[in-house]
Amino acid sequence: MVRNPACKVDFLPVESRALRGNPLGDPWRRELPVVLPPGFDPSGRRRYPVIWVLAGYYGTGRMALNRNFSYPAIDERLERLVNLRKMPPAILALPDCMTKLGGSQYLDSPATGNYETHVCEELIPLVDAAYPTIATRGGRGVLGKSSGGYGALRLGMRRPDLFSAVASHSGDCYFEYCHMKDFPLTVNAIVGAGGVEQLIERTLATEKPKHDDTLALLNISMGACYSPNARSRRGYDLPFDIRTGEVDRRVMDRWFANDPARMIEKPANARALKSLKLLFLDCGIRDQWALHLGLRIFTAKLKRRKIKFVHEEFDDDHMSISYRYDRSIPLMARALCEH
C-alpha cells in the first residue's frame, strides 16, 4: 500500500451573527475543525466533496478528534480509509453546536439559538471559500450519530438545496419511544432538585452529574428546541406537568412535528429524501432508547413512498458506535463523487 501523507486538521475561527445574542448566553465565537484528506491539494486543480459530521448530544466537533485505546480519532479514520482505497479523498467539517443545555438538535429555536442557520448559512460558505470544494449540493453530504444523526436527517429533509447525501446513525426517531419513556424520570429529578432551574444549575455545577440528572436535562433541552414559547417564564414549554407528570398533548404535538417519523409524512420532506444520492440509516438492536424500532417505523414509511435507502442493524447498543463511520463515510464519499 502506498501511504499518502497524514490528514491535516485546520481550526477555522468563526464569528457567528446567527448565534450572537442567543438566549442561553452561549459563545458566538467558536471554531470549526476541518479535516483535510491525505494528499490534499490546495491548488484547486482538484475539487473535494465535503462531509459535514454532526456531533451527538453533549458533543462538539472537536470531540471527534479524540482517540482512545479502542477507536481512532476521525482524522486517523479518514486517513486509513483513503489509504486503503475504500473511499475517494473528502473533506470532513466538524461543527460545534453544543449549548448550555447540552445540544441544539441543529435547528433554529428562539429558546436556544439559530443553529440550522449557523451551519447552513455561515459554516458551509466559510468552508467553500477556504478550500477547493465541490461547492454544490451534489458534492455535499451530512452525517452524524444520536442527536447528530437526527440533525443530519432533519437537514436532509429541510435543506435539499444544500445536501445530496445523508447518513443517520442511531438518530432520534419515533419520540413515543425515545423521549416519552424518560418523562417520569425527568419529573422525579425536577421535583428532587426543587425546580427546573435548580436541576439545570445542579447538573452544570459538577463535572460528573448524576445519570438521572443528565437524562432529565436532555428532555429539558428538547423542550427548548422543540417547544419554545416567548411568553413562558423559561422561554419554552415542557410536554408534561413538572409536579404530577401528566402529559400536555398540545406541547407534545409540537415535539411530534419535529419527529422524523412524522416529518416524512409531509410531501415536501418526502420529495427531499427521494432526491438524495444516498440515504443511509442504521442502529444497534440493543439501543437504550429503542431507536432501532423507531428506525424500522421510519423505513417502513420510506418504502411506502418508494424512497431509496440503505438500512442496516447491528448487534450493539447506543454508545461508542463511531466504528460505524467506517461504513457510512466511504459510501457517502463515493456517492458525492458521482456525476
Distance from CA of residue 6 to its chain's centroid?
27
For residue 54, the cross-strand partners are 144
Residue 273: pLDDT over 70: yes
How far CA 183 is from CA of 178, 187, 210, 218, 230, in Å, comes to 10, 6, 16, 10, 23
Residue 162 one-letter amino acid? L
- Name the residue with cell 427548548: 224
Residue 235: pLDDT over 90: yes
pLDDT digits 0-9 by tens, 274-322: 999 999 999 999 999 999 999 999 999 999 999 999 999 999 999 999 9
For 13, other C-beta atoms within 10 Å of its C-beta total 9
Looking at the chain, how many residues does it have? 339
Counting residues of the chain whose pLDDT is more than 70, the rounded percentage is: 98
Q: CA 61 to CA 93: how far, in whole Å?
A: 8
- The phi, psi pair for 270, rounded to 5°, reads -65, -40
Q: CA 20 to CA 29: how far, in whole Å?
A: 8
Q: Give the contacts of 69 (CB within 8 A, at least 6 positions apart).
A: none
Per-residue DSSP letter, 280: E
Q: At 131, is the pLDDT very low, low, confident or very high (cuts 50, 70, 90)?
A: very high
CATH class of the 8-174+260-336 domain in this structure: alpha beta
Q: Among candidates 320, 330, 328, which has minimal Cα distance to 80?
A: 330
Alpha helices in 170-281 (DSSP H): 175-178, 183-193, 196-204, 211-226, 249-256, 260-263, 267-274
- Name the residue with cell 453533549: 58
Tell me which of 160 and 68 has the higher pLDDT: 160
Tell me which of 3 and 199 has the higher pLDDT: 199
Lowest-pLDDT range of 16-20, 22-26, 85-89, 205-209: 205-209
pLDDT digits 0-9 by tens, 13-42: 999 999 999 999 999 999 999 999 999 999
CB 48 within 8 A of CB 20: no
Q: Among candidates 248, 242, 247, which has minimal Cα distance to 194?
A: 242
- Name the residue with cell 440493543: 286
pLDDT computed for residue 84 by the predictor: 96
Q: Give the residue range(s) of CATH 3.40.50.1820 domains in the chain.
A: 8-174+260-336
pLDDT computed for residue 22 by the predictor: 97
Residue 339: pLDDT over 90: no
Q: How far apart are the first and last CA of the chain?
A: 28
CB 211 within 8 A of CB 159: no
